[in-house]
Amino acid sequence: MMNKPVHLFLVSLLIVFGALTTYFQTYNLDLGYQLMIYVAGFITIATGFIFFRKDTVHFKFMYPGLLTFLIFMVIPIFFSLYVSFTNLSTGHFLSENQVKSLMLEERHLVDDSKVVTFKLYKGVDNYLISTPTLDGLSLFNIDNDTEVNLVSSKDLNENDFKELSTKEIFSIREKLRNISFLTRDDIKLSYYRVSKLAQLNPTFVTNSKGELINTKTSQVFTPNSETGYFTSSDGKTKLAPGYYVNVGLKNFYSIFKNETIKSSFLKVCLWTLIWGVSSVFLSFSAGMFLAIFLNDKNLKLKPVYRSLLIIPYSIPFFISVLIFKGMLNKDFGIINEFISSMGFEKVSWLGDPIMAKVSALLVNLWLGFPYMFLLITGILQSIPASVYDAAKLDGAGVWRTFKSITLPLIMSSIAPLLIGSFAFNLNNFVGIYLLTGGGPPIPGAVTPVGETDILISYTYRLAFEGAGGQDFGLASTISLFIFLIISILTLINFRLSNMTKEEA
Amino acid sequence: MSDSFENQKYMMKRLAKNLAIISLIFIVLLPVMYIVSISVNPTGSIGSKMIPDSLTLNHWYYILGIPYTDTHTGQVVKSSFPILKWFFNSIKISMITSILMLALSTTSAYALSRFKFKGRNTSILALMIIQMFPNIMAMVAFYLMLDFLGKIVPGLGTDSHGGLILVYLGGTPFNIWLIKGYFDSIPKSIEESARLDGCSRFQTFYKIILPLSTPILAVVGLLTFINTFSDFILPSILLKSQDNFTFAVGIQIFISESFSSRWGQFAAACILGALPISVIFFSIHKYIISGLSAGASKG
Residue of B nearest to A477 (CA): B137
The question of ipTM being above 0.90 is answered as no
Q: Which residues contact A262 (CB under 8 A, 6 or more apart)?
A: A254, A255, A256
Same domain (yes/no): B10, B145: no
Contact A69 B172 (CB under 8 A): yes
Domain membership flag for residue B9: yes
- B190 with B224, same domain: the answer is yes
Q: What's phi and psi for B24, nearest 5 deg? A: -60, -50
Around Cβ B260, how many Cβ atoms within 10 Å? 13
Query: How much is the pTM?
Result: 0.81
Same domain for B230 and B135: yes
Q: Is residue B289 part of a domain?
A: no
Tell me the fold of A107-202: Periplasmic binding protein-like II (2.40.430)
Identify the bridge partners of residue A140 per DSSP, sorted by sequence position. Answer: A127
A253-497: which CATH topology? MetI-like fold (1.10.3720)
Structural domains in chain B (count): 2
* A57/A53 Cα distance (integer angstroms): 9
Q: Which helix (H) or strand (E) holds A352?
A: none
Q: Identity (one letter) of the amino acid at A34?
A: Q
Question: SS3 for A38?
Answer: helix
The residues, ordered by sequence, that sit 6+ positions from A408 with a Cβ below 8 Å of its Cβ are none
Same domain, B170 and B200: yes
Q: Are residues B132 and B8 in the same domain?
A: no
Distance from CA of A39 to the nearest CA of B (A): 9
Of B46, B226, B281, the CB nearest to A329: B46
Query: Domains of chain A: which residue ranges?
Result: 4-83, 107-202, 253-497
Widest distance between CA atoms in chain A: 116
* Residues B94 and B125 both lie in one domain: yes
Opening angle at CA B273, ends B270 and B276, nearest 5: 135
Strands A238-239 and A162-163, how do they pair?
Answer: unpaired
- A413 at B interface, C-beta within 8 A: yes
Is the minimum CB–CB distance between B88 and chain A shorter than 8 Å? no
Residue B174 lies in domain = 83-257
Query: Cα separation of B138 and B288, whole Å?
Result: 27
Q: Are residues B115 and B186 in the same domain?
A: yes
Asked if A311 lies within 8 A of B124 by C-beta distance, the reply is: no
Q: B151 and B21: one domain?
A: no
B103, B170: one domain? yes
Residues 6+ apart with CB under 8 A from B160: B146, B150, B154, B244
B56 and B15 within one domain: yes
Residue B88 shares a structural domain with residue B37 = no
Minimal C-alpha gap between A394 and chain B (Å): 24
Residue B153 sits at the chain A interface (C-beta within 8 Å): no
- The answer to whether residue B36 neighbours chain A at the CB level (below 8 Å) is no
- B37 and B130 part of one domain: no
For A146-186, write each residue's pLDDT tens digit.
788 877 666 677 777 788 888 888 888 778 888 888 887 77
Count A/B contacts: CB-CB distance under 8 Å: 295
Measured from the Cβ of residue A158, the count of other Cβ atoms closer than 10 Å reads 12
Q: Compute the distance between CA of residue B114 and CA of residue A96 in angstroms, rounded to an integer.
A: 51
Q: Does B91 fall in a domain?
A: yes
Question: In chain B, what is the straight-line distance between the N-terminal and C-terminal CA atoms, in Å?
Answer: 52
Nearest by Cα to B207 from B222, B218, B224, B193: B193
Closest CA to A465 of A450, A486, A452: A450
pLDDT in tens, chain A (504 residues): 445 566 666 667 666 666 666 655 544 456 666 666 767 777 777 776 776 666 667 777 888 888 888 888 888 888 888 888 888 888 887 878 788 888 888 888 876 667 888 888 887 778 888 887 777 778 888 787 778 887 766 667 777 778 888 888 888 877 888 888 888 777 888 888 777 888 888 888 888 888 888 888 888 888 888 888 888 888 788 887 888 888 888 888 888 887 777 888 888 999 999 999 999 999 999 999 999 999 888 888 888 998 999 899 899 999 999 999 988 888 878 888 888 888 888 888 888 889 999 999 999 999 999 999 988 988 888 888 888 888 888 888 888 888 888 898 888 878 878 888 888 898 899 899 999 888 788 877 777 788 899 988 888 888 877 666 788 888 888 888 888 888 888 888 777 766 544 443
Strands A119-122 and A127-131: antiparallel
Cβ-based contacts of A74 with chain B (< 8 Å): 130
Q: What is the CATH number of the domain that holds B144?
A: 1.10.3720.10
